[in-house]
Structure 1
Amino acid sequence: MGVREGFEELYGTAPDGVWAAPGRVNLIGEYTDFNEGFVMPLALPHTVVAALARRDDGVLRLHSADVAGPVVELRVDALEPLTDGSWGAYPAGVAWVLREAGHPVTGADVHLSSTVPTGAGLSSSAALEVVTALALDDLYGLGLTRPELARLAQRAENDFVGVPCGVMDQMASACGTEGHALHLDCRDLSVRQIPFDPASQGLALLVVDTRVRHALGDGAYAERRAGCEEGARQLGVPYLRDVAYGDLPAALARLSDERVRRYVRHVVSDDHRVDRVVALLDAGDVRAIGPVLTEGHVSLRDDLRISCPELDLVVDTATASGALGARMTGGGFGGSAIVLVEASEADTVTKAIEEAFDAAGFTAPRVFPAVPSAGARRLG
């Protein structure tokens, strides 16, 4: 059953519209967004689709086709931050943050369905927030820009759900473009669409969902963010983005805390890796980004320490089986890795990864191509 039909069956009337927002996978630049640095995500074809109808009685009704349970009914004027991890906190948080910003949101009926894998580090939560924000913006004629929608969605996750994420995921979902990666400056939210079409070069970018479920609300993400902020404070800069790559050795020598030093080294070097990937893609040399991806994984594994055995096994097996490069992507502690391969070798590398997981006694991974796709949009 489609989302529109599901809405009609649930609420007994037709929705005012149907919207979609994609998940994302990040090509390079991890834990750099909240340091006001640079990232390069791309929108996936997997989306959260939402049917909505405006209400003017202050009632917000939420339902997901993917989660067992009745319609969740809330009062928009009584919304308060929820940190219980429930899926409804994400769309409710968007309604809350819009009202907090002074926008006259007076309720809605919402029905959702998602093809974005949850817990896989592919930003299912950001897609849920962005599709809700875009729909409410349309329904209420708020006239918000895509970066404004992304910022509001980020604030919903930060202040309502309680996850201190950066803005990359929401910007990727809101602003992605088919056949491109999004070069995002997280300081001013300026974007540049970088042509990235692996298939046209005889390549494939695979996503390997390890099926190890991560939860960024468990404190590990927040601890690393706090460590980065402490590093910036000790170095006397507003954010780690303000430490030039050429000055990194001198900056590290000034830090006495080994943990903070590792975090700083990762962030500053990953910003530099984003620059390198941009230059290579601008030159049309997609294959050459492979080693930069692998180098990024080593930094995430050894300096940020957010990998896990399953992610490391993907990267090690892929590169040993002929992949051009691989790295974990997303918040870490599980989730997914990306693998850049010659298209002719995709099946061979995939089989090697599946066999390695089986031999290690791990749950079989899910492998699929990452196709750079369109961002959030109205479907009808």
Structure 2
Amino acid sequence: MSDSICPELLSHLTELFEDAFGPVGDGRVLHVHAPGRSEISGNHTDHEGGHVIAAALDVAVDGLARPNGTNTVRVASEGYPLIEVNLDTLDVVEDEEGTTASLVRGMAHEVAANGGTPVGFDLAMTCTVPSGGGLSSSAAVEGAFGRAMEALWGVTPAEPVALAQMSQRTENNYYGKPCGLMDQAAVCLGGLAFMDFEDSANPKTQKLELDFEKYGHALVLVKVGADHAASTDDYAAVPGEMQAIAAKLGHARLCEVNRTDFDRDVPALREEFGDRAVLRCIHYWYENDLVDRRWEALQSANIDAFLSLTRASGASSAMYLQNVVAELGREQPAMYALGLAEHILNGRGAVRIHGGGFGGTIQAFVPLDLVDGFIERMDYWLGSGSSRRYKVSDEGAFAAWL
């Protein structure tokens, strides 16, 4: 955890805070920070108890907070209207589903369950995580809220995985999105991390220090021009179909299913659930193996093997998982972006759908000698600012008094 903040960011946050809530004064203020994330490997494996590699990124939610002497949390997020959440009840409020207010209330419920006494506070924050782009801005917000509440309510900070589980429950139960644990775990852990979700109560994690650029490739994420939040139903159908087949075979998640039983029942499963559901299960097992092989490649710094396996992962997502195109037709923004990226790379590097899919972003590992041209051309085709070069950030979600 870092207890420093760059002067420019502190000045900007102070201005945001004072515009919304008045002078900061001489009292202590709390700095909260939570990064965005990139799924490096493991496309839709987390919710089935599978394996994932994810990285915290050099974009984040940052904020300043202090108690306000009331029972209301007030959040001023740059570019958005002020929200107020009264803490008289920490139960789910149906009208708040899908809003930032639901994240405040959900995280308040979680921190209170850990022994915190809810009291109101003011929080001014800015977010450099692109919203709706599949970089987990909501998970970053949850992590920031959680760390702020722990510090302000006198609660011992939860371990990163525990905070991630608190955030996931908030997203599932309050925000209304049936996400897995990968996004929140990456945000809370920081760095580059391997995650095994077979034991959902006690996920196993392992971290690795690695800079892709030292091995000749930059991590570039490209916004495809469609907000992935608009495809929530498409996203929900992925775990829904996988888990429907798992349930038919007597289990809750695919990680618990014996593949021999699946193979035996494929004709009946196809008849009941359709081709796509069966193909999505095939993707799960194939992709889960690719995660393990990519982690081995990264641990041995074998970037060529990592890139080859990443290309195989992208093909599986497109063909079997089918989370690249929401509806077949004239508009196929993610597939369009993938095709353009492949057109530039011409067999070098690697490109794949990123995160939940359908909209949001694609991920490219671009040879350093192509990076500037890659970004310039993708921005020309998709719009200025569509592409960005990212670095892995070692910082997970934290709060520190200034």
Q: One fold, TM greater than 0.5? A: yes
CA deviation vs aligned residue, 1:12-46 (integer Å, no higher than 9, x gap): 24363111101111111021111111111101111
Q: Which runs of 5+ in 1 are unaligned?
A: none
Q: What pairs up with 1:173-322 in 2 under 5 angstroms? A: 173-177=187-191, 181-186=192-197, 187=199, 188-215=202-229, 218-243=232-257, 249=263, 252=266, 255-256=269-270, 257=273, 258-308=275-325, 309-322=332-345
Cα distance in 2 for partners of 1:27, 1:215 equals 20
CA deviation vs aligned residue, 1:228-258 (integer Å, no higher than 9, x gap): 1112112333421234779875574663232
Cα distance in 2 for partners of 1:341, 1:313 equals 18
Q: Which amino acid aligns with 1:311?
A: A
Q: What pairs up with 1:12-91 in 2 under 5 angstroms? A: 12-14=22-24, 16-55=29-68, 57-67=70-80, 69=81, 71-79=82-90, 80-82=92-94, 83-91=96-104
Report the 3-state secondary structure (helix = DSSP H, G, I; strand = E; otherwise coil) of the residue aligned with 1:173.
Answer: helix
CA deviation vs aligned residue, 1:192-211 (integer Å, no higher than 9, x gap): 01233111112211111123
TM-superposed deviation, 1:3: 1.3
Q: CA RMSD in A?
A: 2.4
Q: Which amino acid aligns with 1:349?
A: F
Q: Structure 1 residues 109, 315: CA separation in 2 closer, same or farther (over 3 Å shift)?
A: same
Q: Structure 1 residues 218, 59: CA separation in 2 closer, same or farther (over 3 Å shift)?
A: same
Cα distance in 2 for partners of 1:292, 1:164 equals 28
Structure 2 contact 195–205 (Cα < 8 Å) conserved: yes
Bigger mean CA deviation after superposition, 250-259 or 149-158: 250-259
Cα distance in 2 for partners of 1:207, 1:363 equals 14
Cα distance in 2 for partners of 1:324, 1:354 equals 19
Bigger mean CA deviation after superposition, 110-119 or 295-304: 295-304
Cα distance in 2 for partners of 1:206, 1:129 equals 25
Q: Which residue of 2 aligns with 1:5?
A: 15
Structure 1 contact 52–135 (Cα < 8 Å) conserved: yes
Q: Structure 1 residues 251, 101: CA separation in 2 closer, same or farther (over 3 Å shift)?
A: farther
Q: Is 1:376–2:397 an aligned residue pair?
A: yes
Q: Is 1:170–2:170 an aligned residue pair?
A: no
Report the 3-state secondary structure (helix = DSSP H, G, I; strand = E; otherwise coil) of the residue aligned with 1:25.
Answer: strand
Q: Which amino acid aligns with 2:314?
A: H
TM-score between the two structures when normalised by the length of structure 2: 0.85
Q: Which amino acid aligns with 2:396?
A: G
Cα distance in 1 for partners of 2:386, 2:64 equals 28
Structure 2 contact 85–101 (Cα < 8 Å) conserved: no
Report the 3-state secondary structure (helix = DSSP H, G, I; strand = E; otherwise coil) of the residue aligned with 2:70.
Answer: coil
Q: Which runs of 5+ in 2 are unaligned?
A: 1-10, 326-331
Q: Which amino acid aligns with 1:375?
A: G
Q: Structure 1 residues 248, 203: CA separation in 2 closer, same or farther (over 3 Å shift)?
A: farther
Bigger mean CA deviation after superposition, 83-92 or 323-332: 83-92
Cα distance in 2 for partners of 1:251, 1:284 equals 40
CA deviation vs aligned residue, 1:272-329 (integer Å, no higher than 9, x gap): 1110101111121123222222222222222222213332233333334333211011
Cα distance in 2 for partners of 1:290, 1:251 equals 34
Structure 2 contact 231–358 (Cα < 8 Å) conserved: no
Q: Which residue of 2 aligns with 1:353?
A: 378
Cα distance in 2 for partners of 1:375, 1:5 equals 25
Structure 1 contact 252–264 (Cα < 8 Å) conserved: no
Cα distance in 2 for partners of 1:311, 1:367 equals 13
Structure 2 contact 378–386 (Cα < 8 Å) conserved: no
% of aligned pairs identical? 26
Q: Which amino acid aligns with 1:12?
A: G
TM-superposed deviation, 1:56: 5.2
